[in-house]
A and B are shown apart, each in its own frame.
Chain A
Amino acid sequence: MHIRRLRTRIILFFVALVALVQIAVLVLVNLANLRNAHVKAAEDLVVGERVFERLVQQRAHEFDQAARVLASDFAFREVIATGDTATIDSALANHGKRIGAAGMLFIGQDGRVVGDTLTQSIVPRSFEYPALLGSPAARGSTVVLLGGQALQLVVAPVLSPLPIGWIVVGVPVDDGFARDLRQLTSLEVSFLAEDDAGRWRSLASTLVGAEQQPLLDHMAKWSGSGRTDVVRTGGDDFQARMITLESVGRAKVVAVLDRSLASAIASFDKLRATLVALAIASLLVSIGGSVAIAANIARPLSELAETAMRIEQGDYSTGVEVSRADEVGRLASSLNHMRESISEREARILRLAYHDTLTNLANRSKFSEQLALVIGEAASSRAGVAILMMDLDRFKYVNDTLGHSVGDHVLREVGARLVREAPDSACIARLGGDEFAVLLRGAAFAGATETALRINKSLEQPIFYRDQPLDVGASIGLARYPEHGHDASTLVRNADIAMYVAKRDKSGLAIYDPAYDSTQRQHLSLLGELRQAVDGKQLRLHYQPKVSLSSATVSAVEALLRWYHPQRGQVSPAEFIPFAEQTGYIKVLTHWVLEEAVRQCAEWLREEIRLQISVNISVRDLMSRDLPEVIAELLRVHDVPPALLCLEITESGFMEDPVHAQKVLDRLHALGLKLSIDDYGTGYSSLSYIMKLPVQELKIDRSFILRMAEDADISTIVRSTIDLGHNLGLKVVAEGVEDLQGWNLLARLGCDEAQGYYMSPPLEAEALKTWIRSYHESTAAESAPVAFGGRAEGPRLAEGGGRS
């Protein structure tokens, strides 16, 4: 049985302990008692024996004195000396009675009994115990049997003046004597005699009747005089001690002193009873005491346990009252301290959990929690709730190029500005990275749009980092409850969608419209699908030949990315490239494109087709620091001469960060790559800048090429651009040539190469190979730069229409 409660265990333990001790004590004391009782009884017997002997001697002595006095009494002597037998007998009788004798004898000098009041004998005889008459030492304590009685005999000589005989005084050894002895010794006294046949009989005893029998029975097996035997009766045993009395004659007379064991033990019984009572009392006291102690320990412990349970459940409010200085008190105060520090830590953790350490704003968890809370309240109060999801536009750029300390500073400043512009918000949080969220409700809800606009305006001001101005704009998406969603996650998602729209459109603020949903959903899924596209080999490169206008060769192609979506079919780059650029996924795409292009180039080289492949690079790619290394590695792996790889960067792309762009371009140029300015004429470049760039090619934007035939001004621009390019030593390529007219014009203007649907749409590698072969064959056959005129349709037209 397993006792669980501490209180019970303490009580049981103590009670058991005390009980055990008490039992042990009782047993031991009892044993000692018994032993003591036996020992004491034996001692009592020994003492009793001594007392007995002394008493017997004393009695003899007394009678001896009396006998002597009597023997010297003149009248008595006169009677004895002169009297006749009758007179002597009467004198003996008289004097015998005086001294309390049983009787007397007068023994003549010859040993004959002259007077006898002791026995009933009338036969003249000699005294039975002549030895007593002779030596004085034998007298006194001798017990004899005479005339059937047990007697102490005392002998005194009678002088008149010469010894004429002895008087013998017989002192009875009877029950009275035995009783006297018992009174003084507190022992039962028995005088026993053994006859010739070895049988014992009782002469006198303080034991009554039947009590004597066990003693007589025991006499046969007595261990010896001077020893203490235990005589067993049927009931109460007793210890007995035998004293051999001096006797003369044949009969053996002994005295037996005995003591009831029970009576000996009796006093110890009282002691035992006292002990038992004491044991019970102490047991009760110990029960009481241990109950008290157990309660004293167990109760506070269970109180502490309850407090601990409360703490466990998160209630840190009530502590335990500490009123004692002992271990329990220490435990209680420790518990209190623990409670306080747990509560503190929990608060700290909560703060951390809900707190963005960098900006001191709330964090995502807090925002979600607050949003849910506010929505819950709004559901019942019918108040309005709005959230603004904000994403910084150029943060990644700042972070990557200027470093994290600058980025952190920007984030902190943005946070500060948010707090300034939205003071009445329910929650301003930084969700992570460069994403922020603002929760507005109630009155603030009404002015949500205004707040968003204010934020935008504020962020249009540059953020200064060590006097360096940084332009970091923001795109904000706004979603309202309950219009745009009934729960937190929906609201957030929709605000997110709105934000992406704002970012995409570069509008700064967009309010959610359910129409966005599908597109955004599409876009969002697009990102995932894009990832799959890269992994799942859904991407392809198509190659559009750059046809030389002067010679009949094609020595370069532009690689254009195509996505063959399993469900949607071909997805237009316009649909995912800007998206990729926004999400930064462009890097992955560019990498893929680069790799594929280099691979394809290597493959063509193996097939002895030497074609330079141009790959479009976005601004992001340009800004990434490791672009040159990546390309160098690719070229090395595939063993492609760097001159066969050309990177096309849009003019506007350069101008975002001209200084940095230059640095990267220089490095790329150092690798041996060719560089090309794409969509020239639509950016904000300066000629001085162009001059510095290590580019080899200039591509005139299609918008000019398309309108150059109708618009003389456009045509002039084109011509100027070509001249400019040439003057700068650059090759000029025209994009978007769609008809013969354009081709001819460009040829006339001196453009170097042309690219367009008129010559060929972007083709897959195999198709391109075929096209180039057939083109070379045809130009070889005609041995002149071909004008694609004469052919009603011109050389391969793109499937369908559309622009590259």
Chain B
Amino acid sequence: MPNLKTTALPHSCARYGVALFAALAWTTTLAANLKVAVVDLHGRPLAEAVVYAIPADDSAAAAPVGLPRVVIDQIHRTFVPLVTVIRTGTEVRFPNSDNILHSIYSFSPAKVFTAKLYSGKATSPVIFDKPGMVVLGCNIHDQMVAWVVVVDTPYFGKTGADGAVELKELPVGNYQLRTWYPAPAFEPRVDPIHVAADGAELRISLDSAGSPLPTLLGTGTAAP
């Protein structure tokens, strides 16, 4: 399974989305691609929505080793990316590209930790070894927030600016497709799907009301 490097930047998502589609077209054996389009209740495409598919038979539960490191940077007092989805066991590095100290923390049960990120100084990466949703904050800077969704499946992704994401090379079979969006009191959607040999497509509509994400993204559209 090729590693997917996802970045938080939406414009690269589009490119990578295309690339992904192409890649999926080449490998057609036992895997198929899942295209998911996420919109909000108004039908507007919803970026940064996390999508992951859990196989029905729970076959990919075990966390492999040698997962690539993920970086969540701190740039201009903002976590970049804002939303990150990783496989359980992934190490996340917080490099702190700002020239100030960030004292990050998480009280999320999936990972409770604190870390002082000195400017320009590398710190030990943090291993996210439990599945769940982790909210990161900075003690010094109240407005800094990031979400890390730790999933137990290799099949995950985040929608780009167009609100679409493609999960590549999913073995054909039944899955639970879970969609998550950082909105207050958000209940993750669980959609059972079947990935056929020729892939699957899904369009999901989420209630994104009250989410701080648009503001943080600077997209300006405040959630109603």
- Give the docked Cα–Cα distance between A331 and B212 (Å): 111
Given contacts A82-B107, A161-B145, A162-B145, is CB(A74)–CB(B139) below 8 Å? yes
Given contacts A160-B107, A162-B135, is CB(A109)–CB(B145) below 8 Å? no
Determine the chain A residues whose CB is within 8 A of the CB of B145 once the complex forms. 161-162
Scoring A residues 146 to 160 as 1 if CB is less than 8 Å from chain B, else 0, what string do you get?
Answer: 000000000000011
Q: Which B residue sits closest to A79, measured CB to CB?
A: B107
Contact of B142 among A81, A82, A109, A161 (CB under 8 A): A161
Task: Contact check, B139 vs A81: say whether CB atoms are below 8 A apart.
Answer: no
Determine the chain B residues whose CB is within 8 A of the CB of A163 once the complex forms. 184
- Give the docked Cα–Cα distance between A77 and B143 (Å): 15
Scoring B residues 119 to 149 as 1 if CB is less than 8 Å from chain A, else 0, what string do you get?
Answer: 0000000000000000111110011110000
Given contacts A77-B107, A81-B107, A82-B112, is CB(A162)–CB(B185) below 8 Å? no
For chain A, which range describes its interface: under 10, 10 to 19, 20 to 34, or 35 or more residues? Answer: 10 to 19
Q: Which A residue sits closest to B107, measured CB to CB?
A: A81
B105 within 8 A of A: yes
For chain B, which range describes its interface: under 10, 10 to 19, 20 to 34, or 35 or more residues? Answer: 10 to 19
Task: Contact check, B185 vs A109: say whether CB atoms are below 8 A apart.
Answer: yes
Determine the chain B residues whose CB is within 8 A of the CB of A78 once the complex forms. 105, 107
Determine the chain A residues whose CB is within 8 A of the CB of B143 once the complex forms. 161
- Give the docked Cα–Cα distance between A281 and B100 (Å): 83
A365 within 8 A of B: no
Q: Which B residue sits closest to A72, measured CB to CB?
A: B142
Determine the chain B residues whose CB is within 8 A of the CB of A109 once the complex forms. 184-185
Contact of A161 among B112, B135, B184, B185 (CB under 8 A): B135
Contact of B184 among A74, A77, A160, A162 (CB under 8 A): A162
- Give the docked Cα–Cα distance between A77 and B112 (Å): 13
Determine the chain A residues whose CB is within 8 A of the CB of B107 once the complex forms. 77-78, 81-82, 160, 164
Interface residue ranges of A75-98 to B (CB < 8 Å): 77-78, 81-82
- Give the docked Cα–Cα distance between A602 and B149 (Å): 192
Q: Which A residue sits closest to B136, measured CB to CB?
A: A161
Give chain B nearest CB distance to A115 CB in angstroms.
15
Determine the chain A residues whose CB is within 8 A of the CB of B137 once the complex forms. 159-162
Determine the chain A residues whose CB is within 8 A of the CB of B138 once the complex forms. 161
Interface residue ranges of B23-75 to A (CB < 8 Å): none
- Give the docked Cα–Cα distance between A594 and B184 (Å): 174
Q: Which B residue sits closest to A159, measured CB to CB?
A: B142
Determine the chain B residues whose CB is within 8 A of the CB of A81 once the complex forms. 107
Task: With a 10 A CB-CB cut-off, give which of B107, B138, B144, B184 has the most chain A CB atoms.
Answer: B107
Task: Contact check, B212 vs A162: say whether CB atoms are below 8 A apart.
Answer: yes
- Give the docked Cα–Cα distance between A164 and B136 (Å): 13
Determine the chain B residues whose CB is within 8 A of the CB of A162 once the complex forms. 135, 137, 145, 184, 212
Give chain B nearest CB distance to A349 CB in angstroms.
129
- Contact residues of B: prevailing secondary structure: loop
Q: Which B residue sits closest to A110, measured CB to CB?
A: B185
- Give the docked Cα–Cα distance between A72 and B103 (Å): 14
Task: With a 10 A CB-CB cut-off, give which of B135, B144, B185 has the most chain A CB atoms.
Answer: B135
Determine the chain A residues whose CB is within 8 A of the CB of B185 once the complex forms. 109-110
Give chain B nearest CB distance to A490 CB in angstroms.
153
Give chain B nearest CB distance to A97 CB in angstroms.
24
- Give the docked Cα–Cα distance between A77 and B106 (Å): 11
Task: With a 10 A CB-CB cut-off, give which of B105, B184, B185 has the most chain A CB atoms.
Answer: B105
Determine the chain A residues whose CB is within 8 A of the CB of B212 once the complex forms. 162
Q: Which A residue sits closest to B182, measured CB to CB?
A: A162
- Give the docked Cα–Cα distance between A85 and B112 (Å): 18
- Give the docked Cα–Cα distance between A81 and B138 (Å): 14
Task: With a 10 A CB-CB cut-off, give which of A72, A162, A164 has the most chain B CB atoms.
Answer: A162
Determine the chain B residues whose CB is within 8 A of the CB of A82 once the complex forms. 107, 109, 112
- Give the docked Cα–Cα distance between A162 and B147 (Å): 10
Determine the chain A residues whose CB is within 8 A of the CB of B112 once the complex forms. 82
- Give the docked Cα–Cα distance between A163 and B136 (Å): 12
Determine the chain B residues whose CB is within 8 A of the CB of A110 once the complex forms. 185
Give chain A nearest CB distance to B33 CB in angstroms.
33
Task: With a 10 A CB-CB cut-off, give which of B137, B144, B184 has the most chain A CB atoms.
Answer: B137
Determine the chain B residues whose CB is within 8 A of the CB of A160 once the complex forms. 105, 107, 135, 137
- Give the docked Cα–Cα distance between A161 and B135 (Å): 7
Q: Which B residue sits closest to A78, measured CB to CB?
A: B107
Interface residue ranges of B131-185 to A (CB < 8 Å): 135-139, 142-145, 184-185
- Give the docked Cα–Cα distance between A74 and B112 (Å): 13
Give chain A nearest CB distance to B166 CB in angstroms.
29
Interface residue ranges of A506-537 to B (CB < 8 Å): none
Interface residue ranges of A683-716 to B (CB < 8 Å): none
- Give the docked Cα–Cα distance between A82 and B111 (Å): 11
Give chain B nearest CB distance to A24 CB in angstroms.
74
Interface residue ranges of A96-128 to B (CB < 8 Å): 109-110
Task: With a 10 A CB-CB cut-off, give which of A81, A82, A109 has the most chain B CB atoms.
Answer: A81
Q: Which B residue sits closest to A160, measured CB to CB?
A: B107
- Give the docked Cα–Cα distance between A159 and B136 (Å): 11
Give chain B nearest CB distance to A280 CB in angstroms.
75
Q: Which B residue sits closest to A81, measured CB to CB?
A: B107
Determine the chain B residues whose CB is within 8 A of the CB of A77 once the complex forms. 107
Scoring A residues 730 to 773 as 1 if CB is less than 8 Å from chain B, else 0, what string do you get?
Answer: 00000000000000000000000000000000000000000000
- Give the docked Cα–Cα distance between A798 and B139 (Å): 192
Q: Which B residue sits closest to A161, measured CB to CB?
A: B137
Q: Which A residue sits closest to B112, measured CB to CB?
A: A82
Q: Which A residue sits closest to B104, measured CB to CB?
A: A161
Q: Which B residue sits closest to A74, measured CB to CB?
A: B139
- Give the docked Cα–Cα distance between A110 and B185 (Å): 9
- Give the docked Cα–Cα distance between A82 and B105 (Å): 12
Task: Contact check, A74 vs B135: say whether CB atoms are below 8 A apart.
Answer: no
- Give the docked Cα–Cα distance between A161 and B107 (Å): 9
Q: Which A residue sits closest to B138, measured CB to CB?
A: A161
Give chain B nearest CB distance to A468 CB in angstroms.
161
Determine the chain A residues whose CB is within 8 A of the CB of B144 once the complex forms. 161
Using a CB–CB cutoff of 8 Å, the interface residues on chain A facing chain B are: 72, 74, 77-78, 81-82, 109-110, 159-164
Q: Could you pull out 27 A-B pairs where Cβ atoms are within 8 angstroms?
A: A72-B142, A74-B105, A74-B139, A77-B107, A78-B107, A81-B107, A82-B107, A82-B109, A109-B184, A109-B185, A110-B185, A159-B137, A159-B142, A160-B107, A160-B135, A160-B137, A161-B135, A161-B136, A161-B138, A161-B144, A161-B145, A162-B135, A162-B137, A162-B145, A162-B184, A162-B212, A163-B184
A-B pairs, 7 with minimum CB distance: A161-B137, A81-B107, A161-B145, A82-B107, A160-B107, A74-B139, A162-B135
Using a CB–CB cutoff of 8 Å, the interface residues on chain B facing chain A are: 105, 107, 109, 112, 135-139, 142-145, 184-185, 212
Given contacts A82-B109, A161-B144, 18 further A-B contacts (CB under 8 A): A74-B139, A77-B107, A78-B105, A78-B107, A82-B107, A82-B112, A109-B184, A110-B185, A159-B137, A160-B107, A160-B135, A161-B136, A161-B137, A161-B143, A162-B137, A162-B145, A163-B184, A164-B107
